[in-house]
């Protein structure tokens, strides 16, 4: 997760889903404490598209790794 701070990335559900659909997402991070109704569609899209998923400890930890001051449910490293 430490690579998120300096890498080309997306943060948030909409942007991450777009990156998965466009084929630019290399790895998706999903927060363990985010609501399933938010994360399930992203998980399904990743499974459909063959994009690997890694669990993040919490929304706060994922947001911090992305360099933002708020929590993030979903983020992705881009190709």
Q: How many domains does the chain have?
A: 1
Can you name the residues that pair with 31 across neighbouring β-strands?
56
Residues 6+ apart with CB under 8 A from 14: none
Domain interval for residue 42: 2-78
Q: What is the pTM of this model?
A: 0.94
25 Cβ contact list (under 8 Å, min separation 6):
10, 16, 19, 46, 49, 51, 76, 77, 78, 79
CATH code of 26's domain:
3.30.1330.30
Per residue in 1-51, pLDDT (tens digit) is 766 876 799 999 999 999 999 999 999 999 999 999 999 999 999 999 999
The 10s digit of each residue's pLDDT in 50-61 is: 999 999 999 999
4 touches 64 (CB < 8 A): no
């Amino acid at each position: 997760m430490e690579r998120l701070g300096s890498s080309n990335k997306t943060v948030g559900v909409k942007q991450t889903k777009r990156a998965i659909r466009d084929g630019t997402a290399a790895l998706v991070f999903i927060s363990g404490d985010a609501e399933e109704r938010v994360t399930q569609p992203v998980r399904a899209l990743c499974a459909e598209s063959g994009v690997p998923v890694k669990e993040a400890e919490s929304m706060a930890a994922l947001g911090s790794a992305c360099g933002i001051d708020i929590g993030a449910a979903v983020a992705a490293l881009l190709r």
